[in-house]
Amino acid sequence: PVTRLLAKLRVPTLLFASTFAFAAPSAYAVDLIVHPSMVVKALKAQLFKDRGRYHLQRPDRCNDPYLENPTVSFKRGRVYVGAHFAGRIGALIGGVCQSAAQASAIVLSARPVTHLHEVGLEDVRLEAADEPMVAAALQNIINGNSLSALHIDLLEAIRPLTLSDKTTPYAIVVRTLELSNLIVENEELHVTIGGTIEIR
C-alpha cells in the first residue's frame, strides 16, 4: 500500500517541483532559449503578412517600399534580419511622380528587449544593402521603431500547453510570468523566466 501511494503521488510531486522552479526566487529561474526560427515565424505572422510582404511605410502614389523573405540570425548582442527589398521609392516632381524601383538584399539589426512576458525589438538599424541607391533611400525610411510591432508573447505561447485536455486530471494556471536578463549567446537568444504557476 505504501509503494502504491508513493506511485500515485509521484506525478503531482514532480509537477509541484516544476511549479516551485517558476515561483521561487531567481536562483531557481528557468533559462528559455529562443532560436532564430521562432523569430522568423513571428515576423511572418505579425509583419510579413500581406502576401509575404512587410510595408516599410503606407503606400502612396509614388512610394511602396516593402521587404519580403525574412531570415534571422543572432550575433553581437543583436538580432539580424535579412530580407529582400522590393517596391518603389520616389517623389512628386513638378506634379509628376518620379519613382525608382530597384531590388536589393538588405540586412537590418535590432536590439532585443523584454517587457513583462513579451520579447520585442527596438533600436533598428540598416546594416547593409547590396544596392547603394537603396541604402541611401532606406536611411530616410528605416528608424529605430521600424520593427517595434513585432512581439513574442510567451504567456500566449504556453497557454495552449495548459489546456485541460493536455493536463487532465490536473488543472494548471499560469498566474504570472516575467522575462528578464535577455542576452545573445552562441547564436541563441537566452531569456530568464520567473513567475507563478498554480496546479490543482
Q: According to the 3-state scheme, what is the secondary structure of the chain?
A: CHHHHHHHHHHHHHHHHHHHHHHCCHHHCEEEEECHHHHHHHHHHHCCCECCEEECCCCCCCCEEEEEEEEEEEECCEEEEEEEEEEEEEEEECCEEEEECCCEEEEEEEEEEEECCEEEEEEEEEEEECCHHHHHHHCCCCCCCCCCCCEEEHHHHHHHHHCHHHHCCCCEEEEEEEEEEEEEECCEEEEEEEEEEEEC
Torsion of CA 46, 101, 146, 189, to 10 degrees: 70
In this predicted structure, what is the pLDDT of residue 53? 93
Residue 52 has a pLDDT of 94
What is the reported pLDDT for 61?
78
Residue-level pLDDT at 141: 85
Beta-carbon contacts of 82 under 8 Å, excluding residues fewer than 6 positions away, are 70, 71, 72, 73, 105, 106, 107, 108
pLDDT on residue 28: 56
pLDDT at 41: 92
> What is the spatial distance between Cα 152 and Cα 102, in angstroms, rounded to a whole number?
32
Q: What is the pTM of this model?
A: 0.76
pLDDT mean for each 10 residues of the chain (200 residues): 40 41 51 89 93 88 88 93 88 76 89 87 92 84 87 82 83 83 85 85
Instruction: Give pLDDT, residue 80.
Output: 96
Query: What span, in angstroms and rounded, lies between the C-alpha atoms of 17 and 31?
Result: 16
